[in-house]
Amino acid sequence: MSEMAESAQSINKNEPRPKKRRRRTYILIGILGSGIILLTASIIWGYLQMQRPLPSTDGEIPVPYMEDGASIVRDSQGVPHIEADNTFDLYFAQGFATAQDRLFQMDMSRRQASGTLSEVVGEDALETDKYFRTFGLRRAAEASLEEYDDNTISALQAYTEGVNAFMERAVREQKLPVEFRILGFQPDTWTPLDSLTIGKMMAYDLGGKWEGQAFRHWAASKFPDEKVEDLMPAYPADGPNVLEANREHSVNVAHHFQDIGPLIPPPDHGSNNWVVSGEHTKSGEPLLANDPHLSLMTPSIWYESHLSGPDHQVTGVVFPGVPGIVVGHNEHVAWGVTNVSPDVQDVFLEQRNEDNPHEFLYDGEYEEATVIEEEIFVDDRDEPVIHEVVETRRGPLISEFAYPEDAEGHPPETALSMKWTAHDATAELAAVLDFNRAENWEEFEEALRSFEAPAQNFVFADTEGNIAYRANGRIPIRSQGEGLLPKPGWDPDYGWDDYIPWDELPTIINPESGMISTANNRIDDDDYTHHLTHSWAQPFRHSRILEVLDDGDNFTPEDMQALQMDTKNLQAEELLPLLTEAVQNASAEKRAEDEEALEVLASWDFYDDRDKAGPAVFHLWRLALIDILFADEMNEDLLELFSGKEGIVDNMIRSAADGEPGAWIAARGGLEGLALESLQKAIDEGRDELGASPSDWEWGDFHQVTFEHPLGAVPPLNYLFNPGTQPMDGSPITVQAAGYDDEAPGEVATAAGWRGVMDLNDLSESYHSVAPGQSGHRFSPWYDDQIDDWIEGNYHSTSMDTNDDAGGRLELFPMGGD
């Protein structure tokens, strides 16, 4: 092992509207108290103090460790164009530039993923830290460090040195971002392990599935078969056996997972990507488009960069804290990603030995589990909190991180553990750096061998005119069953035999259609021999992409941008006739406002535009349907765990319209009774918020985006850090995705914080939109300058030419010494 890897392993693991407000990537809501406000008043005393941390973007700066030096040229959008004569200096300068713009975000990202937030924000973050210590992202990153080759280790080390060079300078000159002063701490030294832990956080964000299994376990133990079957995305092939085990060995899910909602990745995390060959474009060369849908925040989860070194030129976006370019293009190839969303997390029922809480049954005998004592340091506490993580042969117990005892105060007889592919040692960063250098499909595909978590749909194009697709990642082959319900952990017949062989993962090269697109939709068919998942995204985004691509030709980059902003609602186009017919057939009397709402919907063109009334009525109706179906049986915590409920409800409506109402709809008086009751509930709630007349409602008065800063949850810091709230087009099921949580309807939480379009006819430039902006500094001109363009669908061009130095030209040069 390299010296750097050894030193990294030795690092202390602990370094590592009046609606209900929902999650943001940093779980800081409610954890900043009156002391923070007083501290804010004493520190932020004027505009000059806020200006002080702005980084130098012009001139020369001597730095340690560099070999020859590097240039950081920022264009008019604040995008750094980094040029160096050797690879070490290139990644050093990338780390330096990223830290200049995003150091506080980087620190919060590593702290959340590592479970060290409470060290700086106090007691209220303790349960969050316990959660992420239990999931073990940093432990998984430690295991992965050993998997990397020397080139990747060198890149990590160089990036780390660059981050630390900026950090040390900022501390010395008292120019740390103002958020550090507000919270009253200085960031710890950056390590390679921090970068890898942030990578594991993205695997967590895009992994999913465990919470749905926990919910279905609860449902199986509570409801009769007909109700359980209605709540399944598909009925398990081994249904009777697994259902019996889940009913006989029940975990109190409602108790153990209470208040967990803010920690679960948003249900609308997904993406769109597509690529069209030259036969469909005006230029005769391929076009590629990608818009990943992740949490919206200030600053953006994405950071745009351009790297120019001795062996590659690459531009695109990356997660702050990670070297290289995750999605983008070089001079030869372009690529984009969406989430495959496969079943890569399995939950297991574990039977505990009543005489030893650390022993669990397997194959007729009790086995000793591994116990990891995690020290969690908490601000204002003298001694660390010892958090016990218990790992069986299946994985860590996830049902006891916050409530390790049952309602009677005893260790529960049955617990839930989780097995997850991202707990394995993986080397996706090596793949990313190889993407950056690839010159054709063969080289890009070979690089994909190292990209194992999270599983992603890659679309690809090159300057030779090729287009390709691959679903890539480590996806388990199960001994029995599928990833729908928890399996009996004590039974050796349930487990993972292997992973889908690399050469059997879905792949398409130069299809006859000349088009490839994904939107988290189903990618396999009945002839595919391996199980991927039953929990695909609803098909509406992908169907609309295909509809537009099939109907067009001679496409230009502007056409691709317009498609990324498309707001056609195919869900409403399909389901609204079924629901309105049901209302008309309902025996109960309809009110005047009900008839008015139906007239609004009848005249609606099915586009979710912010100035229209139709989408406001429809989406409020959709939310009311879910509420009426389930609210009497499930509290908010359980609804948070109910992943995929939107598609399940859609299927319930389809079946009921075909004359086969399931148990849940039958209990609400059939589709007619449910449709009218939910419409009236939607109208009543809409009138309270949007006005008396549905005809006067506007979707944008309800559907709005804030880009909340992690400190913006607490007044008066929200006025300082949060950009202004603005109305937004789209919805969770349009191509222009704008998702919101059912517990905070209308408050846009997930969307494409970055949109990119790449024209293989000319890869010297590409088209981007990063909201709210490039910089994390409140008074930087690039803090929130892209919001208006992002909302309106305007893109900026990023060139691989460094002639645009409107944002400054900074030269880093070696100062000598170690």
pLDDT tens sequence across 121-171: 999 999 999 999 999 999 999 999 999 999 999 999 999 999 999 999 999
Neighbours of 9 (CB within 10 A): 16
Distance CA 468, CA 13 (A): 41
Give the C-alpha distances (Å, rounded to integers) separating 93 from 105, 195, 809.
Answer: 18, 15, 13
Closest CA to 182 of 57, 302, 53, 22: 53
Residue 534: predicted pLDDT = 87
Task: State the pLDDT confidence band at 669, using cuts at 50, 70 and 90.
Answer: very high
727 beta partners: 704
pLDDT tens sequence across 714-752: 888 999 999 999 999 999 999 999 998 766 788 999 999
8-state DSSP, 396: B
* Three-state SS at 518: strand
Distance CA 95, CA 89 (A): 10
How far, rounded to the nearest angstrom, does the alpha carbon of residue 601 sit from its chain's CA centroid? 33
Distance CA 342, CA 353 (A): 33
pLDDT tens sequence across 81-110: 999 999 999 999 999 999 999 999 999 999
Residue 401: predicted pLDDT = 85
Residue 234: predicted pLDDT = 75
Task: State the pLDDT confidence band at 5, using cuts at 50, 70 and 90.
Answer: very low
Residue 28: predicted pLDDT = 53
Between residues 685 and 250, which one has the greater pLDDT? 685
pLDDT tens sequence across 310-334: 998 999 999 999 999 999 999 999 9
**89 labeled part of a ligand binding site:** no
The question of whether 797 is a catalytic residue gets the answer no
Provide the mean pLDDT of the chain: 91
Is residue 16's pLDDT more than 70?
no
Considering the candidates 71, 114, 271, 775, report the single residue annotated as catalytic: 271
Residue 6: predicted pLDDT = 39
Closest CA to 747 of 807, 704, 795: 704
Between residues 368 and 51, which one has the greater pLDDT? 368
**784 labeled part of a ligand binding site:** no
First-to-last C-alpha distance (Å) of the chain: 22
Closest CA to 472 of 460, 485, 463, 461: 460
HSE of 504, CA atoms in CB hemisphere, 13 A: 14
Task: State the pLDDT confidence band at 259, using cuts at 50, 70 and 90.
Answer: confident
Task: State the pLDDT confidence band at 1, using cuts at 50, 70 and 90.
Answer: very low
Q: What is the mean pLDDT of residues 239-249?
A: 79
